[in-house]
Amino acid sequence: MPLFLQGTQDLTPVQNGLWVAPIGITAIFASQLAARLALRIGTTAVVRIGIAVDVVGLAGMAFLLRPGVTFLQLLPALVLYGLGAGFTNSQLTNVILAGVDPNRVGTASGVNTTGRQVGGALGVAVVGAVFTAVARSDGIAAAVKPSILVTAAVMLLAAIGAWRIPHLPDDRETATKTGLEPVLEPVEVVELT
């Protein structure tokens, strides 16, 4: 998307960053909301909602991104994608580690992180290959839509897989076990003098 925005909208790198900033800003707030929501509806449900919202946000971006698109036209899709990312990324580790023996949590966490990194690298390679193939023949403006749709299709498969994740038996216990609970407790503010 940044290549598309710079190439078709004549944005500077700083302007480009400001255009996509709503994704990150929304993800920060969504991750905080997800932690509280997980205690009410469960971590698995939050992950499912997050992945589904990601798919909608990506599909929206794919159909909205065209030469001449305005920031305000693109904003709802960016916010949806950030919301989904915040929900999913903040709770996925809790879901993955919930059934792990406490003595093996460090190993499981490492495997989870490695899997995410490898998956991310493969995703970038596949989407980059699609983007490059289309851009060579039809230009950058034409390449963004199929690239984002490939990403949305993979996320849709993830959403289908997320519905196969069993609900965790006691999400409050999971929150405590994975260290989420202390984050949600009130914090005493201390003034520095």
pLDDT digits (tens, 9 = 90+) for 165-181: 776 665 545 545 555 44
DSSP H stretches of helix in 10-104: 13-41, 43-64, 71-97
- Tens-place pLDDT, residues 87-137: 998 888 888 888 788 888 888 888 888 988 998 899 899 999 999 999 999
Rounded Cα gap, residues 161 and 183, in angstroms = 29
CA–CA distance from 73 to each of 8, 65, 66, 69 (Å)?
A: 15, 9, 11, 6
Question: pLDDT per residue over 40-91, tens digit each?
Answer: 888 888 999 999 999 999 999 999 988 888 999 999 999 999 999 999 988 8
Question: Which residue ranges make up each domain of the chain?
Answer: 2-176
Residue 48: name the closest of 178, 168, 173 by CA: 168
pTM reported for the whole predicted model: 0.78
On whether the 2-176 domain is CATH 1.10.390.10, my answer is: no
Q: Which residue has the tokens 């290549």?
A: 3
pLDDT higher at 140 or 147: 147
User: Count of CB atoms within 10 A of residue 115's CB?
Assistant: 11
